[in-house]
């Protein structure tokens, strides 16, 4: 049982934090990171029976059943907690076409997502003990293009994507992007109106080792350059088209940043958390060092002649945070974990690719 101080940290002063979405990629690793630091953890999941493997991490972990659409279902889990990491979110990237798709998305994806976050924040108000909420946002809420469509030299926390543009163009992954935009806005508005200290962390493409029984969607999207996944490769292309590159962070770094922002009294507002952003050619080169990337899978990716905009984590670094893992580490750890899980060996490649592997 991995009960204490995996990083040598002494037991903390009996603080307990709640992690929503505990069975997900970030949620499960965040639980592990908190337990390593000696904290108690209350983790919420929709199906506790599917998350029992997490209980092996520590006796200081408690699982709670909760549903974002049920007001009050987070009360028990959040009660007596010092802080809440709201990680749980819908992973809807698209919907089936219908005669009124905009209304459908608003009523069946965006509104429920915002309502779910408000339900969590209402439980925080009831608890009285919660000092801060860390909201897990997404780089899907950002764009590297200015109002005239030109590339910005630097992308920071202020570079929000115009929602009307997303509604109009409906790029790949547009449903997820709008869901995150409106959910974060609703969370910030509710927090400001009710005196909740809420800090938002903007996550790029997260990769590395994982505790989930299946390969996380962010990793499958990243590796779509290899697998040619017909649903996720267009989304990766859309991200590249919007940001001019692919921003990356290691799972351990993103979780450490969550905890850093929870613990730092000076933290406020939004924080980009990106180790490095790679051009498509750089990303392909990094992947190719450890696994062959079929040329045909990268042809659809939009290329840019100029240097891609810098996706900056200056605000986070200036607060004192340091990233531990490089891009090379991210790619290596991701491919090793997928290899161990048999993910890559079950996808279809050319005979040449399989022979090289």
The string of pLDDT tens digits covering residues 47-75 is 998 899 999 999 999 999 999 999 999 99
Mean pLDDT score of the chain, rounded to an integer? Answer: 88
Q: How far apart are CA 297 and CA 66, in angstroms?
A: 40
Which has the higher per-residue pLDDT, 266 or 174?
A: 266
- pLDDT single digits (tens) 78-123: 999 999 999 998 655 556 666 578 887 888 888 889 999 999 999 9
Q: What's the whole-number mean pLDDT along residues 12-19?
A: 85
Band (176; pLDDT cuts 50, 70, 90) = confident
Which has the higher per-residue pLDDT, 169 or 37?
A: 37
Q: Does 288 map to a domain?
A: no
Q: Does 186 map to a domain?
A: yes
Closest CA to 66 of 31, 99, 109, 19: 19
Q: Does 10 map to a domain?
A: no
Q: Does 287 map to a domain?
A: no
Catalytic residue among 32, 122, 145, 180: 180
User: Is 339 considered catalytic here?
Assistant: no
Q: What's the whole-number mean pLDDT along residues 26-38?
A: 97
Q: What is the CATH number of the domain that holds 62?
A: 3.40.50.720
What pLDDT is recorded for position 86? 98
| Whether pLDDT at 173 is above 70 | yes
The CB density around residue 66, as the number of other CB atoms within 10 Å, is 28
Q: Is 18 left (phi over 0), alpha (psi -120 to 50) or beta?
A: beta
What pLDDT is recorded for position 299? 53
Q: According to the per-residue pLDDT averaged within each range, which of 5-19, 231-245, 294-308 is highest?
A: 231-245
Report the domain count for the chain: 1
Q: How far apart are CA 357 and CA 347, in angstroms?
A: 13
Q: Does 11 map to a domain?
A: no
pTM of the predicted protein model: 0.90
Do the beta carbons of residue 130 and residue 84 sit within 8 Å? yes
Q: What's the whole-number mean pLDDT along residues 186-191?
A: 97
Domain extent, residue 123, equals 16-204+250-274+307-321
Q: Does 333 map to a domain?
A: no
Q: What's the whole-number mean pLDDT along residues 210-225?
A: 94
């Amino acid at each position: 049982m991995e009960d204490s101080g995996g990083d040598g940290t002494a037991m903390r002063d009996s603080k307990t934090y709640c992690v929503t979405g505990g069975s997900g990629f970030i949620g499960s690793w965040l639980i592990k990171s908190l337990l390593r630091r000696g904290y108690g953890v209350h983790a919420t999941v929709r199906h506790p029976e599917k998350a029992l493997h997490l209980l092996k991490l520590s006796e200081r972990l408690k699982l709670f059943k909760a549903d974002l659409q049920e007001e009050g279902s987070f009360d028990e889990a959040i009660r007596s907690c010092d802080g809440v990491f709201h990680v749980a979110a819908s992973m809807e990237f698209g919907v089936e076409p219908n005669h009124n798709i905009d209304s459908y998305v608003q009523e069946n994806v965006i509104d429920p997502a915002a309502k779910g976050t408000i339900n969590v924040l209402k439980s925080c108000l009831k608890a009285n003990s919660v000092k801060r909420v860390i909201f897990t946002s997404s780089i899907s809420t950002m764009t590297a293009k200015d109002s005239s469509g030109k590339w910005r030299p630097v992308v920071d926390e202020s570079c929000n994507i115009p929602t009307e543009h997303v509604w109009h163009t409906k790029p790949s992954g547009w449903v997820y992007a709008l869901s995150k935009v409106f959910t974060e806005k609703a969370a910030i508005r509710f927090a400001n109106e009710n005196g909740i200290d809420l800090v938002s962390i903007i996550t790029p493409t997260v990769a590395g080792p994982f505790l989930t029984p299946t390969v996380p969607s962010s990793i499958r999207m990243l590796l779509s350059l290899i697998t040619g996944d017909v649903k996720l490769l267009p989304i990766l292309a859309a991200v590249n088209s919007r940001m001019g590159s692919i921003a990356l962070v290691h799972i351990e770094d993103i979780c450490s940043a969550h905890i850093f922002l929870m613990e730092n009294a000076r933290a406020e507002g939004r924080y980009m958390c990106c180790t490095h952003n790679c051009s498509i050619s750089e990303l392909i080169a990094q992947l190719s060092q450890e696994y062959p990337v079929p040329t045909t899978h990268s042809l659809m990716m939009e290329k840019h002649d100029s240097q891609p905009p810098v996706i900056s984590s200056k605000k986070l670094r200036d607060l004192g945070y340091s990233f531990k893992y490089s891009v090379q580490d991210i790619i290596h750890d991701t491919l090793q974990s997928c290899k161990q899980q048999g993910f890559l060996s079950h996808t279809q490649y050319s005979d040449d690719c399989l022979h090289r592997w």
